[in-house]
Structure 1
């Protein structure tokens, strides 16, 4: 007998018993279920850039894997070194490295990655020594995220390597010099000519010293943090890259070397498919950019970081799920290095446990899921390929628009980028307010009785001032940078090498936001009331009828009001209107919400509303759309209606106002 389970040539006879599956047959079955509802509105999603996401795609024939990191090798499990005190940061970093991390990202005060404003202060070589004590720099990749201080930190690293006899070529350091990103985040710039001269001076000196790695970075996080779209993030990265290539060419560096001087940072979030497609699109766009400039496509050093804006302060354990999804997307997309924001990062300075979870999120996906072993697993997937190609198409078009304005610096200076980002941010905020984009733990399924996890106390370590100024030569071909290296090697601190900024360009800054902040502000207000009084403000759910009649709407109402910080327990039911009134009076609540079926609303809602108003209710809501009953219900005392698709933040703000009345 032929073994049909193991023979490679065996056909699946079982499948032949069924009619062939066709898209037409599937569509006919779908239309039968939709019963006249529009296919495009029900089953076709849209990204923030308006890209249609279809429910079904055919396989893309002939698709080849995109070249990314070396096949079969894992990405760098990078950990943030960001404790304000370099010595304390060193202890955490050594624990990270001994616990499985394979790289470090040094985050200093004022950097793009310093969203809380409490990151590390590195004033001089002594601080850098304290941070890196016991760290074998020649064994791990390091990325510097230092904002306007990146050049100074780079000079300190050069001084350290020279003093300690470390071969610069043995190091892999992404120095992260990024005057465009600093301008976009801060909203101020001395002028591009001066900023470009200083950046070029540092790049030329670092390359002359032979450091391995990259000197400049095109950092898309500044767009993502501010609420921008995937297309805007990609286009901004392309614009920054071209701005830097032109800058280095003008400084005398051949274009091929200029291209190798850059790395890229992207944000990845809980939208797995979109984040994977974005990372893949970056590879394709980079190759296209190099080809357009007459260069042979080369490897792009691509760093991914889990998104700041998706993190929540409330129910922060959900951040474990968000960051796991984001790391999965980055790994599948082909990122070379990945950083996970610890799950408590939105609350404060993460402790050792939070950092352990951050690195283990990656290690489990590598060591247990073997996620790195397949080169570009998304290749050929119809949906992923279509999304990748559409991101490429739109990002390239947006990049060209900003190029027509004179480049990304000119576009930022003319406030062309900021309103586009603000528009996307506002549209997403509206979707979140109506819970079309739910935030688990914040806008959906809140837990008002949660225990807030511990974070580290961030010491108040300020930048040292008052050092005697040291004159530096003008930025040219590395002379200024070399003077900084010499000064730091002699014990100078940054304030001695810094001068008051004489910025001439002032624009709207692309400040970081988190999507859950409006809900968290409401929660925080009532958390403070709870802490002061010992009792959480309540919303009384006036359930009418049997359990089957009220459970769905009572559950909806509880989730809605608790998202604003109220306590809204669901009662087991009441015998009559008098029992509802008495229970409300005993609850201590001043706000009530009626919950039941449409049929019982028609029969009982007005009587219940009148009874609750008589018992002292300041505000009455009804869960559901009122339909023809609206006029009568309002006359009976109903102040508003809560329903799916409504503006939840508006509902909650009105409820909060009743507490203040």
Structure 2
């Protein structure tokens, strides 16, 4: 091996962006440069190349730990101990949840996120219930974050009472008491006392915690309801800042200064599947919140955002749920790189029901491996200086600021919720995303891509409610239709559910005979694509490779008994084979004939021969499969 050192900078002279652009334009051969750009949700566009000019002359402008905190709120980042590994608990039974907490604390969890409530959380009804739940928790060392379904001040009182009973010094408490009235409104559709009354009720709690428990934040700004209902990164960020601004105003009216109010807010974001945009979102969140607090008169210290991140529920699938481990790993990775102070990795089976000890262990160990084996905590702001991420951060920040100003023009976040504006935006976003999912431009591994019809189902205790929490009883000052959680995999999962019911009733799944024309080399790529597409709808593809003639093909298909036939092969063979084979098949009663690929100029002739439909990339696969289900008698 040569020991001569490489001098890359000398051997390869720098190339300007202009020179690169000239070469690209030449290779495009007349296609527009925009064909290399990628559209992101939220109206953003990704460029094929980023340069120092894109990131700006002073990017990144400030070191970590300095306002506006784009690069993190700590001077050394997370290098001094890492982020807080925070497990989430929502098991209804107090004893079960307490035992899970005990086990997890012994095995690496360093913070607790407690969802409390009668329908979707731990059912802590009184002080003794909270004491039993936290019996094995050293409160002076373990941050506790509450996310109550309703009546957060009562839940906060129970936590403080439990700390008092265990003689835990108030000044040692850390975490969040979870007062999030707009989160309650979005999730349940009602806020009994109205926003200002809720914040006025929280004001004494803010004041007392600021004095006696500065590590305990009273208010929570959670984007869970919006992210679960389909919000883009831009909207999630904008609505979080809008909520924070609304809380600052309301607390100031109740006599709490913006300085104390800002130091009493905890933010919680969901982290979805778009890796780099999610990193940029978390970085932009700190930047925008710093600007908002500064505009309110808060000090640089008060401008630092307390940022929690949770892997998104909307991206998780019930089908092939083991793939969720990969999704959660990627999302946790993005949360770390984005600089979250605490992170919750959701169990891979959360979409199915209540997690078991094994799934909680995998979730916990995902973060421990990222920290202790991948050493992700050893670099402060690892994304800093990347032309791509720096530019994307500012793009997301600008887009979110524009949305924030729009919400402010409507009268603020509460008004936008009650007037239905947020629901309208979410409906538009979900519709656009659904189109991408149905056409598989947004593929879901294990569901719409590479589905496994023979997968072993995972059984879990179902949650009490899979829909939005019900509105609290009684009169409410603010009311709206609750935001409905949606998972991206739901459309194709509904087809698989129907296939399961067909299997239970008939002993086999709906079948399709794959009539593959030509040699294996000629038809394999298309046949595999079609088989994958059919399986996404729970239709079992029965493969047959090559035929001597049309008569043999028709005979084999008749013997198979499959009501659906998909003709697949090289385009060159279609003009001869498709009309003849289709005509022969249509003589067999009840036969449905589909052709793999776009028909092009032959569509009229193929349809005249009796072809029922064409299956090809870019079409609405969900609609195609739904139509086939109806024709095959799949309920």
1:180 correspondence with 2:178:
no
SS in 2 for 1:644: coil
* Offset of residue 207 of structure 1: 4.3
The answer to whether 1:322 aligns with 2:315 is no
- Which residue of structure 2 lines up, in the alignment, with residue 368 of structure 1? 373
Match of 1:94 in 2: 102
| Residue in 1 that maps onto 2:68 | none
| 3-state DSSP of counterpart to 1:379 | coil
Partner of 2:310: 305
Q: Which residue of 1 aligns with 2:452?
A: 447
CA distance in 2, matches of 1:548, 1:254: 73
Gap change, CA 1:208 and 1:532, over 3 Å in 2: farther
Given candidates 26, 41, 50, the residue that maps to 1:48 is 41
Alignment of 1:243 with 2:246, yes or no, is: yes
Q: 1:77 aligns with which of 82, 85, 99?
A: 85
Alignment correspondent of 1:216: 219
- How far residue 499 of structure 1 moved from its aligned partner, in angstroms, is 8.9
TM-score normalised to structure 2 length? 0.92
CA distance in 2, matches of 1:524, 1:638: 28
Report the alpha carbon displacement of residue 107 of structure 1 after superposing the two structures with TM. Answer: 1.3
Partner of 1:25: 19
The separation in 2 between residues aligned to 1:594 and 1:153, in whole angstroms, is: 62
Verify: 1:63 aligned to 2:59, yes or no. Answer: yes
- 2-structure distance, mates of 1:418, 1:279: 23
- Provide Cα deviations, 1:422-461, integer angstroms capped at 9, x if missing partner: 211111111111111111111111111111224246689x
CA contact (8 A) 1:228 1:422 kept: no
SS in 1 for 2:113: strand
TM value normalised by structure 1: 0.88
Q: In the TM superposition, what are the counterparts of 1:156-171 in structure 2 within 5 Å?
A: 156-171=158-173
- Unpaired segments ≥5 residues, structure 2: 64-70, 466-470
Query: Residues 206 and 261 of structure 2 are in contact (CA less than 8 Å); yes or no, is this contact kept in structure 1?
Result: no
User: Is the alpha carbon distance of 1:281 and 1:503 closer, same or farther for their aligned partners in structure 2, counting shifts above 3 Å?
Assistant: same
The Cα RMSD (Å) is 2.1
Alpha-carbon distance, 1:108 to partner: 2.2
The secondary structure found in structure 2 opposite 1:280 is: helix
SS of the residue corresponding to residue 545 of structure 2 reads coil
Q: Does 1:520 align with 2:493?
A: yes
Whole-Å Cα distance in 1 between the matches of residues 173 and 275 of structure 2?
A: 33
Question: Which 4+ residue blocks in structure 1 deviate beyond 6 angstroms?
Answer: none
How many residues align structurally?
Answer: 609
In the alignment, the residues of structure 1 paired with residue 133 and residue 505 of structure 2 have an alpha-carbon distance, to the nearest angstrom, of 41
Quote the residue 1:548 is aligned against: 521
Residue deviations 1:227-284 (CA, integer Å, cap 9, x gap): 1111111111111111111121112112200110101011111211011000000111
CA gap of 1:530–1:273, structure 2 versus 1, over 3 A, is same
Are the structure 2 counterparts of residues 167 and 444 from structure 1 closer, same or farther at C-alpha, using a change threshold of 3 Å? same
**1:136 to partner: Cα distance:** 1.0
| 2:509–2:539 Cα contact (<8 Å) kept | yes
CA–CA distance in structure 2, aligned partners of residues 211 and 85 of structure 1: 31
Residue 273 of structure 1 contacts residue 384 of structure 1 at CA under 8 Å; is this kept in 2? Answer: yes
Give unmatched runs, 5+ long, in structure 1.
Answer: 6-11, 111-116, 461-497
CA distance in 1, matches of 2:435, 2:8: 50
Alpha-carbon distance in 1 for matches of 2:462, 2:420:
38
Does the alignment pair 1:255 with 2:228? Answer: no
Question: 1:610 aligned to 2:604?
Answer: no
SS of the aligned residue for 1:139 comes to coil
2:618 to 631, 645, 652: 645
Structure-2 separation of matches of 1:207 and 1:128: 23
Secondary structure of the corresponding residue to residue 428 of structure 2: helix
